[in-house]
Amino acid sequence: MSVISTSLPLTQPTSHNQWVLASNNKGKLAEFTRLFAEANLDVTVIPQGQLDIEDAIEDGLSFVENALIKARHASRISGLPAIADDSGLCVPVLGNAPGIFSARYAGEHGNDAKNNAKLVTDLQPIRDEHPNEPIKGMFVCVLAMVRHADDPLPIIAQGLWQGEILTAAHGDGGFGYDPLFWLPELQATAASLSAAAKNRISHRGQAIQQLLAQLPS
């Protein structure tokens, strides 16, 4: 992953002009590359893998807690401000599972195929009981920005993306649960959208816009 660099002046929340992006997820990094480029920040955003920073242990009980854990971890090791994302899919009829365990829902971290298959299997009894009712789902993204590892006032932003869960995958773009995430208003899955279209309406795109709005001007 190349360093993300943009050029529009912006007053920074710290004296640094570099931020660390606390993620090693290739799908997320690709989306953040586009989102930060579109934001035109006068900041160099460096994926933590370029600094040999391993993933933090995500032992929080919420998206907010895990995002903060990751941001503080990357900032503490790098000595730079850090931004972290914690995101996942919540399905109300499953008690909002997979939730914070979305990436390892089937037991193997980052195995999208197994995670999707488990979700379809877990939902089948509910579909059998209510065959004519769509199953609602919601993508959640929480972003945490810390100026330093012990920042007492981190910037928190949240994006929510509503949709329905299909019985089979459609589309070959995106990552994670995108092929199962149906958008009735667009008659498409998240995996069927172009990268630009997805960024305009996705949970991650919404969260980025909220975070940018909270930065000092």
Please identify every residue annotated as catalytic.
86
Q: Cα separation of 42 and 124, whole Å?
A: 48
Helix axes 203-214, 26-39, angle to 10 degrees: 50
Q: Cα separation of 80 and 58, whole Å?
A: 20
Looking at residue 198, its amino acid is: K
DSSP letters spanning 124-145: HHHHHHSTTSPPEEEEEEEEEE
With a CB cutoff of 8 Å and minimum separation 6, the contacts of 20 are 45, 46, 47, 48, 51, 53, 74, 75, 78, 80, 81, 82, 83
Q: Is the peptide bond before 98 cis (omega within 30 degrees of 0)?
A: yes
